[in-house]
Amino acid sequence: MGCTSCGTATGGKPGGCKSNGGCSTGGCNRMNTYDWLHNLPIADIDSSCKVIEVSFNKGTRKDFFRNPTLQQFEKGEMIAVEGISGFDVGEVSLTGEIVRLQMKKRNAREENPEMKKVLRIATDRDIDIMKQNKAREPEAVIRSRAIAKQLKLDMKISQVEMQADGRKATFFYIADGRVDFRELIKVYASEFKVKVEMRQIGARQEAGKVGGIGSCGRELCCSTWLTDFKSVNTAAARYQNLSINQTKLSGQCGRLKCCLNYELDTYLDALQHFPDNCDQIQVAKGNAYLIKKDIFKNLMWYTLPDSNKQYPLTIERVLKIKSMNRQGMVPDELEAVEITSQKVKEVEPEFVDVVGQISLRSLEKADKKRKQQHQQQKGQGQHQQRGGQQQARPPQQGGQPQQRQGGAPQQRQGGQGQQGQGGGQQQKGQQPQRPQQQRRPQQQAGQGQQGGGQQQKGQQGGGQQGGGQQQRRPQPPRNPNPPKPGQEPKKDA
């Protein structure tokens, strides 16, 4: 669990403190210990602690090493230490007087002659070699599990840790019983070309190495600070009035949660004020049985056989009923305590008819605007379509739009003035019409008084002359001989 400054890491380094993992909180590594003696002045250099604590593999393993040189190492510094037939690279986790307290906690002696030594500060070449060998660990885990399965061994390879120089590999495994892995070690040595060390761990140690997030939302205790694992049983859950639910009481390791023991002593101290041998008391309705004890309100909950209702009783009332039962007396009632909640009850709002009070003007305005836009687009489309049809039609006399206004009187004049010859030629001349024929209104009026053959030639010549001119809407020609009043114009058959 890192501090807030180290939370934003850029390029593998903490973003806030810039100490490369050597901040005083120690939050950049697992299983950290706060050095609360780092500001203690050193009175005598000779009497100072010559042992430092080094962590490996991101804090999953720690060990003590002797510092024979006079060089002072800082927390978070990478150093090279002695290994098995080689060297190993680790990170300094503790220095100074706090190391003596840690050694006393782990029963390690400072004068131990077998304690390994610190070699030097790790060079770039040492770190590169370490990274190359660490990259072999995931593949080694998969291959080692396959080999153990081929040999039919009842064990699980949890993790493989390579030494920095690649000469030794430690295989952490989980097994319920004793496993004969003599043949397995030979296969591993020939497969990985390293010196093999087998180390058995439990399910909780495996969860600590893997890490994760607990049901409380924090990192697992076994992967952050918890080192000694005490036995946990279901009695701890019963003392705390917890339901015996295996799924809720179990952690990621499959065992009971270690946090069940954290508040157990507080519950045991509080339960000392409750009377013993009060699991059953007698009243007039029958025997009342104890259900639970509430240490926060100092109440004992009982239930009667004829109902499922629970009755809270004070400790004084329970002691009084128990003394009456010893004397052979049976009380009439339990005299349960009325529990009142201190929380303010929320007043439920009454039913209010809000029909007609909700304004939908914004939606109506949007709908109206959408309709207006649709109508404008539709009107523009129709106007463009009509203009295209008018441009495509030839501006000639005798067409369908001109027959309604001046077509009928003109046909009558042509029939009377030309004795029916010009009218027949005019109808024949209307059949081979072209859509590009254009002419001026004055030419149409002059040609309408001539014969049918001349009118046909005039229409063809007018279409050729007016092809490049701007198109104009033709006007109906004037009839020089309007019909007399009371006389209807003749229509063609």
pLDDT in tens, 137-153: 999 999 999 999 999 99
Tokens for 208, please give them.
Answer: 């600590």
Residue 56 in any domain: the answer is yes
Residue 40 in any domain: the answer is yes
Q: Are 188 and 171 in contact (CB under 8 A)?
A: yes
Q: How confident is the model over 267-290, as a mean pLDDT? A: 90
Query: How far apart are the C-alpha atoms of 417 and 175, rounded to whole Å?
Result: 126
Tokens 């495994």 found at: 173
At 25 the pLDDT is 46
pTM: 0.58
Assess whether pLDDT exceeds 90 at residue 382.
no
Q: Which of residues 206 and 70 earns the better pLDDT score?
A: 206
**Residues 254 and 320 both lie in one domain:** no
At 259, the pLDDT band (50, 70, 90 cuts) reads very high
Q: How confident is the model over 393-421, as a mean pLDDT? A: 43
**Residues 106 and 39 both lie in one domain:** yes
At 72 the pLDDT is 85
Tokens for 293, please give them.
Answer: 């004890």
Percent of the chain that is helix, strand, coil (3-state, to 5): 35, 15, 50
**Residues 265 and 309 both lie in one domain:** no
Alpha-carbon distances of 369 from 163, 372, 373, rounded to whole Å:
75, 5, 6
At 301 the pLDDT is 92
Residue at a domain's end among 54, 87, 122: 122
**Residues 286 and 261 both lie in one domain:** no
At 20 the pLDDT is 47
Percent over 70 (pLDDT), the chain: 69
Tokens for 141, please give them.
Answer: 């885990």
Residue 423 in any domain: the answer is no
- The mean predicted confidence, pLDDT, of the chain is 76
Q: How confident is the model over 222-238, as a mean pLDDT? A: 89
Residue at a domain's end among 176, 208, 240: 208
The angle that helices 441-448 and 452-465 make with each other, rounded to 10 degrees, is 170
CATH number at residue 180: 3.30.300.20
Residue 332 in any domain: the answer is no
Residue 404 in any domain: the answer is no
At 484, the pLDDT band (50, 70, 90 cuts) reads low
Range of the domain at 239: 230-270
From the list 431, 482, 477, 428, the residue with the least C-alpha distance to 453 is 428
Assess whether pLDDT exceeds 90 at residue 64.
yes
Residue 288 in any domain: the answer is yes
**Residues 71 and 101 both lie in one domain:** yes
Residue 248 in any domain: the answer is yes
Assess whether pLDDT exceeds 60 at residue 116.
yes
**Residues 43 and 107 both lie in one domain:** yes
**Residues 37 and 118 both lie in one domain:** yes
Residue 219 in any domain: the answer is no
At 189 the pLDDT is 93
Each residue of 94-128: b (16+ CB within 10 Å) or e?
bbbebbeebbeeeeeeeeeeebbebbeebeeebee
Q: How confident is the model over 474-486, as a mean pLDDT? A: 57
**Residues 259 and 306 both lie in one domain:** no
Domain count for the chain, please give it. 4
Residue at a domain's end among 307, 326, 345: 326
Query: How far apart are the C-alpha atoms of 299 and 294, rounded to whole Å?
Result: 5
**Residues 320 and 250 both lie in one domain:** no
Q: Which of 4-18, 43-57, 140-154, 171-185 has the lowest mean pLDDT?
A: 4-18
At 380 the pLDDT is 82
**Residues 111 and 40 both lie in one domain:** yes
**Residues 183 and 236 both lie in one domain:** no
Q: How confident is the model over 338-347, as a mean pLDDT? A: 73
Task: Please report which residue ranges of 61-136 form alpha helices under DSSP H.
Answer: 98-105, 124-134
The segment with the largest mean pLDDT, out of 18-22, 30-34, 389-393, is 30-34
**Residues 104 and 149 both lie in one domain:** no
Assess whether pLDDT exceeds 80 at residue 180.
yes
- Cβ count near 247 (within 10 Å): 5
